[in-house]
Chain A
Amino acid sequence: MKDENIKNIVEQSEVKTSYEFTDNLIAEIENGMQKNAQVAFWTMPKIAIGFVAVAILSGVLGSLLLPSSFTGATIIPIVWSFLLLIGLNHLLALHKCQSILEMNHKGMTPTKETLQL
């Protein structure tokens, strides 16, 4: 078969998208933008600033409020662990919200595991 015939044939092999393809795509992008605006994880600079702020605050509060016998004692790692747990809990809660939103967006029902996260 001649090259020009092949070209003519391959040109006819173009597949058309469904009628609503572009509308669905734009809706998907806009929904994604909305979802990202609703739930956002902290960025690394924010986490670093938060870490420093908590360190300073806990140092100041510790020296002001804790009895002098506690200073430099075992209470310090306990307080730090407590603060870290609060932070982790916050991240997990955000993750859970994001998962539920994603599932709702896809028209799926959140599973028990998702809700337990």
Chain B
Amino acid sequence: MGSKVVDKDTQLIHRVRDGDMQAFRTLVDLYKDKSLSLAMSILKDKPLAEDVLQEAFIKVYQNIEKFKFKSKFSTWLYRIVVNTSYNQLKKKKRTFPLSEDDYTFEPLAENNVGLSLKHNDQKEFIQKAMARIRPDEALTLRLFYLCEMNLKEVEDVTKFSASKIRVDLYRGRKNLEEQLQKLLGKHIDDLL
């Protein structure tokens, strides 16, 4: 499965190098959601994260000739996305947490005990919880679980040390659970 994805990426990259814009479109469609999730881990602001993602994909297009196939395309792409996001974060000097909406978010009302969480948008709660944990922790969690990267690949993308990645993963899991507990209370069991 993994090697099939790599083969498909390789073919697409060769087509992009030959000037095939449709191949680039396919490449973007394959990776845009995971890449946006990584940018969101750092920036906590969707419009800003989309702008950064656009900038990152433009860099990928302009530098596709420089990709040497020494790593997976996804590792190279995510490295560019993460770098561009951290640069943007420095520029804007944004503090964490960012969105005013995060402060005003209402926990699930206790009088809805009879309602299953399935009636609410689970994803929304999870994304809110992810937005409330530190950027490095959210990024590491998403690279490890969402992008299914191993520790070495996470290290290649983030340039964090292996020990920091382990600590971020541990704290990230703990903080995510805490935030979900705060948001959902006893409804947290509906997620499991």
User: A residues touching B (Cβ–Cβ < 8 Å)?
Assistant: 1, 5-18, 21-22, 24-26, 28-30, 32
Dominant secondary structure at the B interface: helix
Whether A28 pairs with B127 at a CB distance below 8 angstroms is: no
The listed residue (A9, A22, A32) touching B176 by CB distance below 8 A is A9
1/0 contact string of B16-38 vs chain A (CB within 8 Å):
00000100110011001110110
**Is B9 on the interface with A (CB-CB < 8 A)?**
no
Whether B146 pairs with A11 at a CB distance below 8 angstroms is: yes
Whether B192 pairs with A5 at a CB distance below 8 angstroms is: yes
* B interface residues, tally (CB under 8 Å): 36
1/0 contact string of B45-77 vs chain A (CB within 8 Å):
010011001100110010000000000000000
Q: Distance (Å) between the CB of B120 and the closest chain A CB?
A: 13
Whether B25 pairs with A29 at a CB distance below 8 angstroms is: no
**Is B145 on the interface with A (CB-CB < 8 A)?**
yes
Whether B192 pairs with A1 at a CB distance below 8 angstroms is: yes
Known contacts A5-B192, A12-B122, A22-B32, A17 near B58 by CB under 8 Å: no
11 contacts between A and B (CB under 8 A): A5-B191, A9-B180, A10-B142, A10-B145, A11-B146, A12-B126, A13-B130, A14-B33, A14-B34, A22-B28, A24-B54
Whether B58 pairs with A7 at a CB distance below 8 angstroms is: no
* CB neighbours of A22 from chain B (8 A): 25, 28-29, 32
Q: Distance (Å) between the CB of A19 and the closest chain B CB?
A: 11
**Is B82 on the interface with A (CB-CB < 8 A)?**
no
Whether A9 pairs with B54 at a CB distance below 8 angstroms is: no
Cα distance, A24 to B51, chains bound together (Å): 11
* CB neighbours of B180 from chain A (8 A): 9
* CB neighbours of B153 from chain A (8 A): none
Cα distance, A5 to B180, chains bound together (Å): 13
Known: A6-B145, A10-B126, A11-B145. 17 other contacts (CB 8 A): A5-B191, A5-B192, A8-B191, A9-B180, A9-B191, A10-B130, A10-B142, A12-B123, A13-B142, A14-B34, A15-B40, A15-B46, A17-B33, A24-B54, A25-B28, A26-B21, A28-B58
* CB neighbours of A29 from chain B (8 A): 21, 24, 58, 61
1/0 contact string of B100-136 vs chain A (CB within 8 Å):
0000000000000000000000110011011000000
Residue on A nearest B141 in the bound complex, by CB: A10
Whether A6 pairs with B33 at a CB distance below 8 angstroms is: no
The 10 closest A-B pairs by CB, nearest first: A10-B145, A7-B145, A13-B130, A15-B37, A17-B32, A13-B126, A12-B126, A15-B40, A1-B177, A15-B36
**Is B173 on the interface with A (CB-CB < 8 A)?**
yes
Residue on A nearest B29 in the bound complex, by CB: A22
* CB neighbours of B192 from chain A (8 A): 1, 5, 8
